[in-house]
Chains A and B, each alone.
Chain A
Amino acid sequence: MSLVPGLVKGLVVTGSTIVRTVFPKRGMRTMMPAPSKGAATVQYPHVKEAPPTRARGVIALHEGNCTACMLCARECPDWCIYIEGHKEKAPPRRAGGKPRQVNKLDRFDIDYALCMFCGICVDVCPFEALFWSPEYEFSEPRIADLLHDKERLSEWMETVPDFEDYESGSVAKKLKVPPT
């Protein structure tokens, strides 16, 4: 048992938190109350906290890389990706060559009302067509509007940050984000 009763210690803890919240600054400007700096919270619509670069906010689609291979749609645990595509003849790369066959994407929808944000689709994509963006403000008043089509998903591409460097000791290869 210490000499100071626990009740008093508790009061000191809460009391000093009040002081630290209202007067967060040290030194000369201690007497200026600035609770908005001292508080751990921010006033959300006015001030926004930046999520980390890796944050799984919304999935962006790089349409040019997608070959409609359906891997993401199959691996999705709740099957919220809808893909339709068709094959097309594209002009040959070199003059005189045979016309190439490319897969053209007709529809690429992600239903964010179903999505669990697990990131498996981004992982399994072999052509680097899907990327995570840390944007999180895409709530909608109507649930149907949460179905993002390929145009909407391509718009998110602008918000995709560059991949971060790895911590020292890592041998992983740093990925690149294709230019939009």
Chain B
Amino acid sequence: MTVTERQQLSYIAAQAADARVNLEIETEGMTLNIGPQHPATHGTLRIVAKLDGEQVVSAEPVMGYMHRGYEKLAEVRTYPQVTTLINRIDWLGSFANEVPFILAAERLMEVEAPPRAQWIRTILFELSRIANITLFLGDMAVQVGAITPVFFAFRDREHVLNQIEAATGGRFHPNFDRIGGLKDDLPAGWVAETRQAMRKIRTFCDQIEELVEGNEIFQARTRGIGVIPADIGLSYGLSGANIRASGVDWDLRRDSPCGLVHDQVDWKVWTHPDGDSFARFWVRLQETREATKIVDQLLDAIPSGPIMAKVPVIIKVPAGEAYVETENPLGVMGYYVVSKGDVYPFRVKIRSASFSNVSITPWLLKGVYVPDIITILGSLYFILGDIDR
């Protein structure tokens, strides 16, 4: 039985159960509002779920409780100011948000960051990926009921955040990327400390593997739950680890490395054939390990040189349009920047990964049980700032 058939059958079962219950004893389904304030939606996502017993008949995500209007705000900010705002989109891996925007602006201005800047940019990009996904690894365990892993996640994410802070000055909002390079060079001793942090993250991954991934209860809760077939996932615009867990071998870091130096190092894109919640967890766990390897290799070979290209003090971006997308921790993030030759962008369209990732929930949540809603939402891994912007 293929995954789609199973999905369909469970949906039919849900419908049939609904009809039967309504015929025999006059009952009606229950509407359960999961969110906007609910521990599982970590933020203010609201899921309106129509239930029959504990089975979901239909579910609909309601977004916009945290809409901050960054696309509009960016139109009245200069290019350097915009990076301050977009730090706050995916607040767990915020450096990664700056990169595609800066790359788009650089493409319009036709400047290129010097190699050292590109190298450090890639290192920080991967560090923010680790900081982000580390928390997911703990958070996923909380969603299925284990409390301890998330404390491990907070404990070990700290090592990465310390490195990000030591280099950029900001733990969560680095604002370190500049058009044409970086704000500052690395402080002395940073490379050695980062290597140590990477070692700790690998230990953390081993711990999570034993504590969560290998746990039979965790596997029973996640295997076969929330199966996304590759074609459905692609048609809903899923990206990142969510689509790689469905067996689609698609990673922008490898496929179109624009401005970042992922092609200079030796690494692997992990995929999983199952497409269920466990696969999504597994792929992210492997990705964290892979990211530590990328960072280690990059640290070995940082080229020397300047970190800023020659750019004017007052940045005026020539008229034109550019769309740049990168493989962010949550998936593909892209910025479409339209410039009319002013100090402000004329229009910025932000394609954030989580928005597309949660759009599959109405399809995915049909026919599952209430506890599985939480598992599926947890495994899709969205960040509210990334949905609502």
A sample of 16 more A-B contacts (CB under 8 A), given A52-B169, A118-B84, A172-B306, is A7-B215, A10-B215, A14-B211, A40-B155, A54-B168, A54-B187, A77-B85, A119-B170, A120-B175, A165-B188, A166-B187, A167-B187, A168-B188, A169-B303, A170-B186, A172-B307
Q: Which of B80-117 contact A (CB under 8 A)?
A: 80-81, 83-85, 87, 116
Chain A contacts for B189, CB-based, 8 A: 167
Known interface pairs A7-B217, A9-B210, A167-B191; A118-B185 also in contact (CB < 8 Å): no
Q: Is B216 positioned at the interface, with any CB of A under 8 Å from its CB?
A: yes
Q: Report B145-200 residues with CB < 8 Å from chain A CB.
A: 148, 152, 155, 158, 162, 165-170, 173, 175, 183-191
A55–B165 contact, CB under 8 A? yes
| B77 within 8 A of partner (CB) | yes
A96 CB to closest chain B CB (Å) equals 37
CB proximity to B under 8 Å, residues A160-180 = 164-172
The reply to whether A170 and B307 form a contact with Cβ atoms under 8 Å apart is yes
B171 to chain A, nearest CB (A): 8
What string of 1s and 0s marks CB contacts (under 8 Å) between A1-37 and chain B? 0100111011011100100000000000000000000
In the complex, the chain B residue whose C-beta lies closest to that of A134 is: B169
**A64 interfacial contact with B, CB 8 Å:** no
User: In the assembled complex, which residues on chain B have CB atoms less than 8 Å from the CB atom of A170?
Assistant: 116, 185-186, 304, 307
Contacts of B207 in A (CB 8 A): 13
Contact among A7, A168, A169, A172 with B216 in the assembled complex (CB-CB below 8 Å): A7
Q: Is the CB of B187 within 8 A of A172?
A: no
Known: A6-B216, A172-B306. A120 touches B84 (CB 8 A): yes
Secondary structure class of chain B's binding surface, majority of residues:
helix
In the complex, the answer to whether B188 meets A166 with C-beta atoms within 8 Å is yes
Tell whether A165 pairs with B304 under 8 Å between CB atoms, given A10-B210, A132-B169.
Answer: no
**27 sample A-B contacts, Cβ–Cβ < 8 Å, listed by A number:** A9-B210, A9-B211, A9-B215, A10-B210, A10-B214, A40-B158, A52-B187, A53-B166, A54-B165, A55-B165, A55-B169, A77-B77, A77-B81, A77-B84, A77-B85, A116-B84, A117-B170, A119-B175, A120-B81, A166-B186, A167-B188, A167-B189, A168-B304, A169-B302, A170-B304, A171-B305, A172-B307
Asked whether A167 and B185 contact (CB < 8 A) given A9-B214, A77-B81, the answer is yes
Interface assignment of B15: CB less than 8 Å from any CB of chain A: no
Query: Dominant SS at the A interface?
Result: loop
Determine how close the nearest CB of chain B comes to the CB of A39; give it in whole angstroms. Answer: 9
Q: Does A51 contact B (CB under 8 A)?
A: yes
B78 and A172 form a contact (CB under 8 A):
no
B26 to chain A, nearest CB (A): 45
A residues less than 8 Å from B87 (CB atoms): 118
> What's the Cα separation between A117 and B216 when bound, in Å?
45
Residue of B with least CB distance to A41: B155
Query: With the chains together, A171 CA to B308 CA distance in Å?
Result: 10
A18 to chain B, nearest CB (A): 10
The answer to whether the Cβ of A104 comes within 8 Å of any Cβ in the partner chain is no
Chain B positions within 8 Å of A56 at CB level = 169-170
Contact, CB under 8 Å: A169 / B210: no
- Contacting residues, chain A, for B148 (C-beta < 8 A): 14, 17
Q: What residues of chain A lie closer than 8 Å to B184, measured between beta carbons?
A: 54, 172
- Inside 8 A of B215's CB, which chain A residues have their CB? 6-7, 9-10
Q: Is A88 part of the contact surface with B, judged by Cβ < 8 Å?
A: no
Interface range, A side:
35 or more
- Which of B152, B169, B186 has its CB near the most chain A CB atoms (within 10 A)? B169
Where the two chains meet, the residues of A that have a C-beta atom closer than 8 Å to any C-beta of B are 2, 5-7, 9-10, 12-14, 17, 40, 51-56, 75, 77, 116-120, 123, 132, 164-172
Q: Are B169 and A13 in contact (CB under 8 A)?
A: no
Complex Cα gap A5–B303 (Å): 47
| B residues less than 8 Å from A77 (CB atoms) | 77, 81, 84-85
Contacting B211 at CB < 8 Å: which of A2, A13, A40, A52? A13
For A14, what are the chain B residues with a Cβ–Cβ distance below 8 Å?
A: 148, 211
Residue from A7, A40, A53, A117 in contact with B187 in the complex, judged by beta carbons closer than 8 Å: A53
Q: Is the CB of B188 within 8 A of A117?
A: no
Give the Cβ gap from B157 to chain A, nearest Cβ, in Å.
11
Q: Which residues of A contact B155 (CB under 8 A)?
A: 40
Which residue of A has the minimal Cβ distance to B172?
A: A117
> Which residues in window 298-350 of B have CB below 8 A to A?
302-307
Tell me the bound Cα distance from A120 to B170 in angstroms. Answer: 13
In the complex, are the beta carbons of A167 and B84 less than 8 A apart? no
A-chain residues with CB within 8 Å of residue B304 when the two chains form the complex: 168-171
Contact of A75 with B78 at beta-carbon distance under 8 Å, contacts A10-B211, A40-B155 already known: yes
* A119 close to B169 (CB less than 8 A): yes
From A12, A52, A53, A116, B210 is in contact (CB under 8 Å) with: A12
B187 touches A13 (CB 8 A): no
> Which residue of chain A has its CB nearest to the CB of B216?
A6
9 pairs of A and B residues whose beta carbons are closest in the complex: A169-B304, A6-B214, A118-B84, A167-B186, A77-B81, A52-B166, A165-B188, A170-B185, A54-B169
Contact of A164 among B77, B187, B305 (CB under 8 A): B187
Give the CA-CA distance A7 to B146 in the complex, in Å. Answer: 12
Shortest beta-carbon distance from B332 to chain A in Å: 26
- The answer to whether B173 touches A117 (Cβ under 8 A) is yes
Question: How many angstroms between the C-alpha atoms of A120 and B218 in the bound complex?
Answer: 46
